[in-house]
Chain A
Amino acid sequence: MTGLLAMFRRLEGPQTVGRGPAFWALFALVLAAALAYPLFSDGYTVGNTVYFFVWVFIALSLCLIWGYGGSLSFGQTAFFGIAGYGYGVLTINFGSAYGFTLLALVIAVAIAALFAVLLGYFMFFGRIAGVFLGIVTLAVTLMLERFMAQTAGPEWRIGAARLNGFNGMSAMPPLTIPWPGEPIVLFADIGLYYLVLGLLVLVYLALRILMNSSFGNVIVAIRENPERAEMLGYDIRKYQLITFVIGAALAGLSGVLYTVWGQYITPSSMGMTAAALPLIWVAVGGRSDLTSTVIGTLVVLAAFQALTIYGSQYALVFMGVLLVLTVLIAPNGLVLGAMNWLGRIAARFTQRAG
């Protein structure tokens, strides 16, 4: 019992909104609803929900790097793309037997992380910060998109996998879990849903623990005042690099799951528009809080999908307006603002009751 309490304590702290029995009871309720939901729904809707969940990982990666770390990275879709293509190349070449797809997932995420180590080393150890960090990451992302877009010719192949230029890569095998008798293939419905939901809960809780640990303290300290943080004896470059790499791995996870979900990946997933969307979700949700980011991402994605009925251009214009207005009016994010407001009301309520 005390062990359980200690674990809960590590999930709470000044870096994350939501604490106490009321919050975790609500969390359990939402989780139970999410677990039960596929039983009352059809395969298509469940698949669509998986699509929403897939994007939450890249949103969380941006929340970590930008919201907590204070470094604006436009490069998250680059890691998304690298891992997505990585998974494609690996599984098309080596197939899905013996649970290789799961290994491919891990390797693809690792490749994205490795790329982040390289890029991050040059940026953080070159003391690139602020505005320039955003530009360098964006330039790298656009470069990757251009590179992948011109790989249409048959000479652009890695083993059996054609990169296929602007049309992108497709027909990679879905995730497959080896099972005695018959392997379980996770198509984009209930099977994949539970896997992605499980990963989401795991990543969310792990990030809560990380951000409320002493490591998280240093990360927000660097955001607030890098010079002071260094003069407390922290090698800030190292902390920034580690955060960047964790973020890249999460974005990569998003990329692999996206590729698995639709069994395709295209260069435009790294383009300007694709890179803008995570930024909008996170900014609207509330970049400096994990829970707000998750809620914001899901809400904005749902709104976006509802709007695309009128045409995706209109939906994108709306997204742009939403982003500009958020930055101007509620720079800390709409969901976070609402949650803080609810928190204050709840506090007043309990005070009056007590």
Chain B
Amino acid sequence: MDIATHVFSALYQFGDAFAFLVLSACGLAVIFGMMGVINLAHGEFIMCGAYVTAATVHAGLPLPLGILTGTLVSALVGVVVELAVIRHLYERPLDTIVATWGLSLIATQGTLIMVGSTMAGVGTPFGSFQVGDYSYSIYRIVLFCAAIGVLAALYALFNWTRFGVLARATIQVPHMAAALGVDTRLIYSLTFACGAGLAGLAGGLYAPTMTLVPTMGATFIMEAFVTVVIGGADVFLGTAPAGAVLAVVKSVMTSWQGQLFGQIGLLVAVIIVVRVLPKGISGFVLRERT
């Protein structure tokens, strides 16, 4: 095998890890950055997106439409959850964690009761291609492009739309924004829906690559946490660079010692980073800038 195929293999693994980290984390990061709230039911929103995607594909819809449906349904559930629970807990961030954990328990066990212990999956589309001695899944490349696309779309949303400007104003000075007539409650609702929708999108995108079980959210949630903890409160200055750094750690550790060590590597990286940069990468970047 020549150098080029080695390089390609490394890049492919990096891209795969990056996509997984960014896609699982950005929904969590949007909500955290906006409201300082960690949504422990994040994994269950991902599960919701995956299940709805699979169900619609089984019903005959093409996969992209299925993923879109999954995203929208998750966002809708997000609105309901925000109205029913989160809204009442804005002053108590620790209680929000606890309450969303309760929701996660309800969602996991409720799905188990209603849908059963597994759901028929969706085949991975596009097949594979060969580089050197190894074959690679084309869909993984699609996922990487999707991650980049999501980051770009979020950048556009927060910088170029009226919602984005109001949302950023609300993050920085909530009282001022409220005084200026911004409906901060609506902004919070929409942000939560946006985060839930992004989780649903991650679920929909990964639905064709994994077995669908009620506890599948747990597969994503650790990576999502780790990325948000390292990244800090800002999606662009935090989640994206954190995703890149952690993807290197994960792909190197995985190809060296296997998947488990990839995850252990992530965890160790987190614990060391929080010791050095308590506010995450974005906190560090922002402190240097202002």
Q: Which residues of A contact B (CB under 8 A)?
A: 72, 119, 122-123, 125-128, 130-132, 134-136, 138-140, 142-143, 146-147, 150, 271-273, 276, 279-280, 283, 311, 313-314, 316-317, 319-324, 327-328, 331
Contact = CB atoms under 8 A, between A and B. Distances in A.
Given A126-B278, A327-B99, A136 B105 contact: no
A272 B218 contact: yes
For chain B, the bracket of interface size reads: 35 or more
A136 B271 contact: yes
Contacts of A126: 274-276, 278
B260 interface: yes
B85 A319 contact: no
Contacts of B85: 324, 328
B138 to A, nearest CB: 29
Contacts of A143: 222, 263-264, 267
Nearest to A138: B225
A51 to B, nearest CB: 21
Contacts of B276: 126
B267 A122 contact: no
A324 B113 contact: no
Given A143-B222, A272-B215, A320-B105, A72 B97 contact: yes
Q: Is the interface of B mostly helix, strand, loop or mixed?
A: helix
Nearest to A121: B275
Contacts of B38: 131, 134-135
B46 interface: no
A123 B274 contact: yes
Interface of B: 32, 36-38, 40, 85, 88-89, 92-95, 97-99, 101-106, 108-110, 112-113, 215, 218, 221-222, 225-226, 228-229, 260, 263-264, 267, 270-272, 274-276, 278
A319 B278 contact: no
B106 A320 contact: yes
14 contacts: A122-B274, A131-B32, A132-B274, A139-B225, A146-B263, A272-B215, A276-B104, A279-B101, A317-B110, A319-B105, A320-B106, A322-B102, A323-B101, A324-B85
B267 A139 contact: yes
Contact of B95 (A125, A271, A319, A327): A327
Contacts of A138: 40, 225
Contacts of A125: 275
A136 B218 contact: no
Nearest to A327: B99
Given A126-B276, A131-B38, A328-B89, A279 B260 contact: no
Cβ-closest 9 pairs across A and B: A323-B102, A320-B105, A320-B106, A126-B275, A324-B102, A316-B109, A327-B99, A320-B102, A313-B109
B263 A313 contact: no
Contacts of B108: 272-273, 316
A123 B271 CA distance: 7
B106 A317 contact: yes
A316 B105 contact: yes
B89 A122 contact: no
B271 A276 contact: no
B106 A130 contact: no
B160 to A, nearest CB: 30
A130 B279 CA distance: 12
A140 B228 CA distance: 15
B102 A128 contact: no
Given A328-B88, A328-B89, A122 B275 contact: yes
A138 B222 CA distance: 8
Most buried by B among A123, A283, A317: A317
B264 A147 contact: yes
